[in-house]
Chain A
Amino acid sequence: MSEQIEYTKIFSRPESLKDNPTHYCPGCGHSVAHRLVAECLDELGLRETTIGVPPVGCAVLAYNYFNFDMVEAPHGRALAVATGIKRVHPDKLVLTYQGDGDLAAIGTAETIHAANRGERITTIFINNAIYGMTGGQMAPTTVLGQNATTAPGGRDPRLHGRPIDISRMLAVSDGVVFVERCSLSSFKQIRKAKKAIKKAFQCQLDDLGFSLVELLSPCPTNWKMTPKAAWDWVTNEMVKTYPLGVIKDTTGYEDKK
């Protein structure tokens, strides 16, 4: 018996993402994060009114993947650059997409102050607890005991200092209205991450203040794990240092269940 079944396509590449294959490693969180950002922009109809600032890091070439206006920034300075852009175009959606070194090491001052000024900017913070592009050095967010090329034997609090929880630090500021931490290591979490990103964009659209979504992201290559092992490490280990959930929410939005 042959059946002619009609199918509807329900999942494909969002328009805010170019068709270019990425240079990201197999199982890298960046690729998922890019797609989620793109899906949210599509759903909110924002592609043509968005201006983005990528980091220096593995995602330095994000303008080859994101299908909207983008400008490179010096390492760590994305939020200062974004501030300048937003002041010229207050009606556009301005976002930064940054890694842990960009946002919480070299860019710490720019991050804290843009957030504290309550700039109407949204930051997507990719935390993979390592410096990926440069080959696996310790990041400010590398967790205790985690191996890195500049913390051989694992991060030691006396030798290397402790990991930083920049999202909780930012939450102290009144200029920051929404901070949520999700992970990119399972279907459920990826769905939650997308909701968080969309909510963060909505904060900007509604002129509420600074919004940030931290995404715990697998880095199989520099963690020296298989993709599955890396995803599991995020789910089981990384969340011990960086618990998931809403860190700050003064938006007043009611979450749709």
Chain B
Amino acid sequence: MAKNSKKGKIVIDRERCKGCHICIETCPNDRIEVDTSLNAKGYAPARFKETVKEGEKGCIGCAQCATVCPDVAIEVYRAK
């Protein structure tokens, strides 16, 4: 089991996302990737990498992604 794999999770509203990808640049644990399947507005939205592979760090619920997201497209959850 990867370290801290379930400490946090995010939910991205892919239709709200405008594909600026700043969240991808910002996430310290590389938990977000580009979804090449375009949304209704024609953007390639960000997508949460829910599965934590071997050697990867999981989402820690730091909310840096949501803080930088211009479109309030990300909700962040932390484990209790």
Contact = CB atoms under 8 A, between A and B. Distances in A.
Direct contact of A and B (CB under 8 A): yes
Interface in A21-38: 21-22, 24-32, 35
Band of interface residues on B: 20 to 34
B72 interface: yes
Contacts, number: 79
Contacts of A21: 16, 71
Given A7-B77, A7-B78, A22 B71 contact: yes
Interface stretch (A11-19, A100-108, A196-204): A11-19
Contact of B68 (A7, A30, A32): A32
Interface string B19-62: 11110011000000000000000010000000000000000010
A186 B20 CA distance: 14
Interface in B2-25: 6, 8-9, 16, 18-22, 25
B71 A31 contact: yes
Contact of A228 (B18, B22, B43, B66): B22
B11 to A, nearest CB: 9
Interface in A204-244: 220, 227-228, 231
A28 B67 contact: no
Nearest to B73: A21
A9 B70 contact: no
Most buried by A among B70, B74, B78: B70
Contacts of A228: 20-22, 25
B20 to A, nearest CB: 4
B67 A191 contact: yes
Band of interface residues on A: 20 to 34
B22 A5 contact: no
B78 A10 contact: yes
A8 B78 contact: yes
Contacts of B71: 21-22, 24, 31
Contacts of B8: 7
A11 B77 CA distance: 7
Nearest to A232: B25
30 contacts: A6-B79, A7-B77, A7-B80, A8-B77, A8-B80, A9-B76, A10-B78, A11-B63, A11-B66, A11-B75, A17-B72, A21-B16, A24-B70, A25-B18, A26-B18, A26-B43, A26-B70, A27-B18, A27-B20, A30-B70, A31-B70, A31-B72, A35-B70, A186-B68, A187-B26, A190-B67, A191-B67, A227-B22, A231-B22, A231-B25
Interface of A: 3, 5-13, 17, 21-22, 24-32, 35, 186-187, 190-191, 220, 227-228, 231
Given A7-B79, A35-B70, 17 more contacts: A7-B8, A7-B9, A7-B77, A7-B78, A11-B66, A13-B72, A26-B20, A27-B70, A30-B70, A31-B70, A31-B72, A186-B26, A187-B67, A190-B67, A227-B22, A228-B22, A231-B25
